Amino acid sequence: GRAPAGAWFAPGRVNLIGEHTDYNDGFVLPFALPHRTVVAAAPASGSRTTVSSAQEADVVEFRAAAVVPGDVPGWAGYVAGMFWALREAGHPVPEVDIVLDSDVPVGAGLSSSAALECAVGVALADLAGVVVGPSPLAVLARRAENDFVGAPTGGMDQMASMHGRPERLVFLDTRDDTIELTPFPLAEHGLTLLVIDSRAPHAHADGRYGERRADCAAAAAALGVRALRDATPDAVAALPDERIRRRARHIVTENDRVRDVVALLAGGSDPRTIGPALDASHASMRDDFEITVPHVDVAAEVAREAGAHGSRMTGGGFGGCVIALCDDADVPAVRGAVEKAYADRGWSAPVTFGAAPSEGAGRLA
Report in angstroms how near the CB of residue 239 gets to ligand GLA at its nearest: 22
Report in angstroms how near the CB of residue 57 gets to ligand GLA at its nearest: 27
CB 31 within 8 A of CB 179: no
In the bound state with ligand GLA, the residue whose beta carbon lies nearer, of 275 and 319, is 319
Residues 54, 69: Cα–Cα separation, whole Å: 24
Report in angstroms how near the CB of residue 23 gets to ligand GLA at its nearest: 6
Strands (DSSP E) along the chain, which ranges? Answer: 6-15, 27-28, 30-43, 49-53, 60-62, 96-102, 168-173, 178-183, 191-197, 310-314, 321-327, 351-354, 362-363
In the bound state with ligand GLA, the residue whose beta carbon lies nearer, of 157 and 215, is 157
Positions touching ligand GLA (CB under 6 A) are 15, 19-20, 22-23, 153-154, 156-157, 315-316
Given 25, 97, 157, 288, which residue is catalytic?
157
In the bound state with ligand GLA, the residue whose beta carbon lies nearer, of 182 and 281, is 281
Residues 121, 133: Cα–Cα separation, whole Å: 11
In the bound state with ligand GLA, the residue whose beta carbon lies nearer, of 79 and 156, is 156
In the bound state with ligand GLA, the residue whose beta carbon lies nearer, of 93 and 321, is 321
Report in angstroms how near the CB of residue 153 gets to ligand GLA at its nearest: 3
DSSP letters along 135-199, please? HHHHHHHHHIIIIII-----SHHHHHHHH-BTTEEEEEETTTTEEEEEE--TGGGTEEEEEEE--
CB 215 within 8 A of CB 247: yes
147 as an active site residue: the answer is no
Strand 49-53 and strand 96-102: the pairing is: parallel
Report in angstroms how near the CB of residue 191 gets to ligand GLA at its nearest: 23
Residues with catalytic function: 157
